């Protein structure tokens, strides 16, 4: 597999929301583990006038023009685990000195992996609801309002699908509270190889069509 993996998030209509290159760390039965350091270039959907989605009321988001905007990853380093068959991924978020700041659980469609030419990637569909887990494993929900406001919208999910998303989060909560993998200390002391270059966006191929689950 390529040394870098493109993490891509889509909307139901096939439009890209983000593209982030990440360094491949390992690939085994636990999942695909990747590294995203501070300084990584990425693409993120913003309005034509530069606004983030949170600055646009939900009811107006279908009426504005969106485009992918070049960004630079800031704030915290991220070790990102895509778990096969699981409707979430787990982020270890490290401070600049590589101490663990928190885990971030991104609820999303199970990852679909792909390879094309010399590129490799993971495609998913964000489910809005997230979990923020402190190093002591205390936790809180994030963006519950975003999960609920999308119910019934054709680009998102039904009420029953929203219940399934929440149920996936509850399963993760059980793992957090019991200290099960991946909240068992795995990779808390991770240190990247200092020789690794910062991931880069490819000049072409990052906009391949969404690779959906078959």
Active-site residues, by number, are 142
Q: Are strands 100-108 and 31-36 parallel, antiparallel or unpaired?
A: unpaired
**What span, in angstroms and rounded, lies between the C-alpha atoms of 200 and 161?**
35
Using an 8 Å Cβ cutoff, are 190 and 92 in contact? Answer: yes
**What span, in angstroms and rounded, lies between the C-alpha atoms of 178 and 172?**
10
- Would you give the distance in Å from CA 150 to the centre of its chain? 19
- Residue 38 to residues 89, 185, 195, Cα–Cα distance (Å): 19, 22, 15
Burial bucket for residue 11 (CB in 10 Å: 0-12, 13-18, 19+): middle
Tokens representing residue 173 in the block? 């909560």
DSSP state, residue 157: B
Q: How many of the other CB atoms lie within 10 Å of CB of 59?
A: 9
């Amino acid at each position: 597999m390529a040394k870098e993996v493109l993490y891509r998030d889509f909307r139901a209509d096939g439009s890209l929301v983000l593209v982030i290159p990440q360094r491949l760390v390992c690939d085994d039965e636990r999942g695909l583990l990747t590294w995203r350091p501070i300084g990584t270039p990425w693409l993120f959907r913003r309005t034509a006038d530069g606004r983030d989605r949170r600055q646009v009321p939900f009811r107006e988001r279908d009426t504005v023009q969106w485009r992918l905007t070049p960004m630079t990853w800031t704030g915290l380093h991220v070790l990102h685990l895509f778990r096969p068959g699981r409707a979430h991924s787990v982020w270890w978020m490290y401070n600049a000195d590589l101490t663990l700041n928190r885990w971030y659980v991104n609820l999303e469609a199970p990852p679909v992996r792909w390879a094309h030419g010399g590129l490799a990637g993971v495609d998913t569909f964000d489910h809005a609801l997230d979990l923020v887990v402190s190093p002591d494993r205390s936790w809180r929900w994030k963006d519950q309002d975003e999960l609920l406001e999308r119910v019934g919208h054709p680009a998102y999910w039904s009420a029953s699908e929203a219940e399934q998303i929440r149920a996936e989060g509850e399963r993760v909560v059980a793992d957090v509270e019991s200290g099960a993998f991946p909240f068992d200390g795995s990779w808390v002391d991770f240190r990247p190889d200092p020789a690794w270059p910062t991931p880069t966006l490819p000049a072409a191929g990052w906009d391949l069509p969404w690779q959906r689950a078959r």
